[in-house]
Amino acid sequence: MMAIIRCKDCGKVCAASRGELCAACARRTRQAEVKVAEYLNGHPEATAGEIQQATGVERQIIARLMGGEYGQAARPGAQRRGGTPVGRLAVGQG
């Protein structure tokens, strides 16, 4: 028996396949992961706002990919302006 969930992003009711997102939001998040990772490779000190402006990825998705509000585990040497570490991407980047 498959569980039914409400998508954490869009609120749509769907069958739970993986995580807390519907298939469309999971696909959109995977695409966002690529954009954010590519941008951070060239701009390791970027803030969430700079990432959002450059990639068009929603701040909510950026925060989730980075492990919360700017991430909890920093990549070696990566710092935001003001000294706060930039988080490692949840997809294993960093």
Q: Which domains does the chain have, with CATH numbers?
A: 28-87 (1.10.10)
pLDDT of residue 1: 65
Angle at 51 between CA 47 and CA 56, to 5 degrees: 150
- Give residue 4's region: left, alpha or beta (phi > 0; psi -120 to 50): beta
Q: Is the dihedral of CA 58, 20, 23, 66 positive or negative?
A: positive
Instruction: Note if the pTM is more than 0.85.
Output: no
How far apart are the C-alpha atoms of 28 and 23, rounded to whole Å?
Answer: 9
d(C-alpha 7, C-alpha 53), whole Å? 25
User: What SS3 class is residue 6?
Assistant: strand
Question: What pLDDT score does 31 carry?
Answer: 93
Residue-wise pLDDT tens digits, 5-16: 999 888 999 887
Q: Please give the average per-residue pLDDT across 72-80, as a whole number.
A: 41
